[in-house]
Structure 1
Amino acid sequence: MTKRSFDQFFKNPRHWREDLVAVGGDFSVDRLLYAYTHGIFPWSEDPIRWYCLDPRAIFDIHRVHFSKTVLRKVRQKKFRISFNEAFPIVMQACSYREKDNTWITPGFIDGYLELHKKGWAHSVEVWNAENVLVGGVYGVAIGKFFAGESMFSFESDAGKIGLFHLFAKLKESNFELFDTQQLNHVTWQLGAYEIPKLSYLDRLERAIKDMVPWVIPLSHD
């Protein structure tokens, strides 16, 4: 589809008052990129529902609040941290819930895997001493904008340790905006906060001015 077609498919979030801006479509790379660069994200698969929330939850990349316990575990370096080493496995792990289903269904995984192959989606992996994946985070990076999608922990604090290293790389790369979509207890504790939709869209527009994939800085450890 062309940009004009996407303009017709999605309601313009700057003028549309509802959170739901479209229903249907697919998880193609072009559609996902259009959505994220216009403040829109998918939240279900059957049918696909596309949202632009008001208010919007974000992180200040330089003011994330990690607990003393998490920071101590980071300093101890008991976990191996990698980037983009196991993207589909991280998504599968994020989709797992012991008692309920999540919005990360097979269509999401297939679509975001293609986004990853094109360099727009990234994962952080946390491995224990036995080289077992115990935590991780994934999201979408465009220009100086990062959309955090989901996080998982199979060991205490493992996901937050991955998030700590993600924020460190984003700061190193001078990222300007981290979208976490909607506040929950975990993101609120970490320092996420809400801003009006129009303020978010203004900040997004500045962050994606140079629409290029993220080249993750190499580790200096």
Structure 2
Amino acid sequence: MTSLPWLDQKELWFPDPEQALDDPDGLLAIGGDLSTRRLILAYQSGIFPWFSDDQPILWWSPNPRCVLFPDEIHVARSLRRTLNRQYFTITADRAFSRVIRLCARTRAEGTWITEDMIASYSELHRQGIAHSIEAWNPNGELVGGMYGIGLGRCFFGESMFSLETNASRVLMVHLAGQLESWGYSIMDCQVESGHLLRMGARTIPRRRFLSILREAVSERPGHDAWDIQWRWPGPEGQPRSTRRVK
């Protein structure tokens, strides 16, 4: 395998994402730390950490990149019926600590959300940079959630969980609607999955992603606080359908 740069904790930098390996796809650098300054620089540069407890910190920038343009969210007929019922209540930043820990606990294939990661992202949450989105059932129970990073007009989705059928899908629809209303350009999904692709996400070349990202993170957000005010229009509303962004 090609030699990768080791990052020094004292020096804050990342190599050019275009230098990332093809195999494993997107592996860019090793080491460094999970300080808030380094994490912010990473996301601004199109890079994210992904590693296990028994590994050093690994930094990634895959090619292609899985993204969701907020106005491309796809609402299937079955999901529309669930949305029409208004069964779930969607909120933001009400339970960040519970969301990130449930994301760690509910992953059947294991987790990269280590205690150090939880501590670092919790600090970013205190700084108003990391956010959680929650889905609550009618009994007031937290049954779905996502956490991620908001910089400029880009949201970087990190992980999600779902304890009831459709909780995460309803959450995604509301989040996309809110991001679009705020004028966000893009939601970074990092690595593709069948669930994300069915919701309207797609892959784009890393170079295009980085170009969109540079502009998006430099723009001021179109809101002051994180609050999911967007609501599905109800049975009479028209579901969104995937359309191509020029």
What TM-score do you get using the length of structure 2 for normalisation?
Answer: 0.81
SS in 1 for 2:71: coil
- Which residue number corresponds to residue 123 of structure 2? 114
Mapped pair 1:6 → 2:16: no
C-alpha contact (below 8 Å) 1:123/1:138 kept by paired residues? yes
Q: Which protein is bigger by CA-based radius of gyration? A: 2
- Which residue number corresponds to residue 219 of structure 1? 229
CA distance, structure 2, for counterparts of residue 108 and residue 184 of structure 1: 22
C-alpha contact (below 8 Å) 1:119/1:214 kept by paired residues? no
Q: 1:22 to 1:211 in 2, by over 3 A?
A: farther
CA distance, structure 1, for counterparts of residue 79 and residue 184 of structure 2: 23
Unaligned 5+ runs, structure 1: none
- 1:99-118 superposed Cα distances (whole Å, 9 cap, x missing partner): 43111121111111111111
Q: 1:200 to 1:73 in 2, by over 3 A?
A: same
- Which residue number corresponds to residue 51 of structure 2? 44
- Which residue number corresponds to residue 70 of structure 2? 61
- Which residue number corresponds to residue 97 of structure 2? 88
The within-5 A match list for 1:68-83 is 68-83=77-92
CA distance, structure 1, for counterparts of residue 63 and residue 119 of structure 2: 28
Mapped pair 1:30 → 2:30: no
Q: Which AA in structure 1 matches 2:151?
A: I
Calculate percent identity across the aligned residue pairs: 34
SS in 1 for 2:67: strand
Q: 1:179 to 1:68 in 2, by over 3 A?
A: same
CA distance, structure 2, for counterparts of residue 5 and residue 164 of structure 1: 40
CA distance, structure 1, for counterparts of residue 230 and residue 216 of structure 2: 26
C-alpha contact (below 8 Å) 1:144/1:207 kept by paired residues? yes
Deviation at 1:211, TM superposition (A): 6.0
What TM-score do you get using the length of structure 1 for normalisation?
Answer: 0.90
Which of 198, 215, 219 does residue 206 from structure 1 map onto?
Answer: 215
Q: Which AA in structure 2 matches 1:34?
A: L
